[in-house]
Amino acid sequence: MAELSATLPDTTPLPAPAAPKLVDVSSLTLEGLAKFLTEQLGERAFRAGQVYRWLHQRGVTSFEEMTDLSKALRQKLQERAEIVPLVKDLEQVSRDGTIKYRFKTRDGRFIESVYMPSEDRKTLCVSTQVGCAMKCSFCMTGTLGLKRNLTPGEIVAQVHTVNREVRQREGLETYRPLSNLVFMGMGEPLHNFENLKTALSILQSENGPNFSHRHITVSTVGLVPMIERFGQETDVKLAISLNASTDEQRNQTMPVNRKWNIEALLEACRKFPLRQGRRITFEYVLLKGFNDSDEDAHRLIALLRGIPAKVNLIPYNENPGLGFHTTVEERAEQFRAILAEGHIAAFIRQNRGRDIAGACGQLANRSGQDAAQSTQAPELP
């Protein structure tokens, strides 16, 4: 009997093969989409343009909406690909017309985007990460820590979703009512550079939303090695979040300065390739009694000498528990006047959406994700 049982085959059922991973087509450039369709689905290359335009001109969220594709192709796309969604979780409207949107990602994270309409433009402030690793001490987003990077599709989906919201809210026919994009939302854009670059490629594509390089600005706290790559590999505008006139100040408020100090940062700015007539924007958050003195203004003039620059002065948007206060209007104007006398173009930025915590430095998902959740350790270049 033992000999007979030894000869019987093993009848333990084998595990079922894992389902193939779905490809996030909303994160692909046109070239990447063409490669997927031809090599993986056996389709002709021209189909990529059709799918891409549905995704990034019309901003559809399902393959069923792509009505000029055959049912067979739509079925193949449903089986092998996906469009990663962002779900609108919350909408808050400010007294000044600013609208803050909170979106929920597939994995239950929250990000925020801010729509700022004005007479001559419709601007969206876009997020690039869930949380932020930079830990600037005056910024609420920094209290969250970094949860994860956003994919190119999640970055672009903020634009598509708000385009759709604005179109419906304002009764517009155009698929792209937004005119300007500023990457100044949650996260440090250059800390998620590869995904940012792919998202910019999609957003600037003629087959996509077709935003002009003149109407896109990316802000950084000063990741010096990435500033060089940003200048070489993209053509959009650069903004530097400076916020101090000495290393001592910047070390206290912006930990990144301990790795790349003001001298290193401004040297990178001097080497930055600028299109003719373009300037680097320096953002300077005015913190009462900390960096808003006449001496600070004179030091700032000296620091920026030789750099084609303009300065956006940002009266601080107070955040609970962070210990900083807003510079009064008169002091901000005096600071601006000193810069102007030193031949620095300076402007006091109108803060939008303060009453809904939608202004600069206030994005923190206050009724969303718990800041105490586990975070990724920052890996700086």
In this structure, the number of other CB atoms found within 10 A of the CB of residue 351 comes to 18
Residues 6 or more apart whose CB falls under 8 angstroms from that of 80 comprise: 20, 22, 23, 40, 41
Contact 329, 292 (CB under 8 A): no
Residue 132 assigned to a binding site: yes
In this structure, the number of other CB atoms found within 10 A of the CB of residue 342 comes to 15
Which residues are paired to 100 by β-bridges? 92, 114
Residue 136 assigned to a binding site: yes
Residue 243 assigned to a binding site: yes
Catalytic annotation, pick one of 112, 125, 154, 283: 112
Residue 137 assigned to a binding site: no
**Edge-to-edge, what's the strand order for the sheet holding 280-286?**
87-93, 99-104, 110-117, 122-125, 180-183, 216-220, 237-241, 280-286, 309-315, 345-348
Residue 269 assigned to a binding site: no
Residue 31 assigned to a binding site: no
Residue 139 assigned to a binding site: yes
Residue owning tokens 């698929």: 175
Task: Let me know if 125 is a catalytic residue.
Answer: no
Residue owning tokens 């940002």: 314
Of the candidates 277, 282, 285, the one whose C-alpha atom is nearest the C-alpha of residue 142 is: 285
Residue 241 assigned to a binding site: yes
DSSP letter assigned to residue 89: E
Residue 287 assigned to a binding site: no
Contact 186, 131 (CB under 8 A): yes
Cα 298–chain centre separation: 32
- Residue 352 to residues 91, 115, 185, 345, Cα–Cα distance (Å): 15, 10, 13, 21
Residue 26 assigned to a binding site: no
DSSP letter assigned to residue 347: E
Task: Let me know if 194 is a catalytic residue.
Answer: no
Catalytic annotation, pick one of 43, 82, 269, 360: 360
Residues 6 or more apart whose CB falls under 8 angstroms from that of 95 comprise: 355
- Host H or E run for residue 312: strand 309-315
Annotated binding residues for [4Fe-4S] cluster: 132, 136, 139
Annotated binding residues for S-adenosyl-L-methionine: 187-188, 219, 241-243, 317
Annotated binding residues: 132, 136, 139, 187-188, 219, 241-243, 317
Active site residues: 112, 360
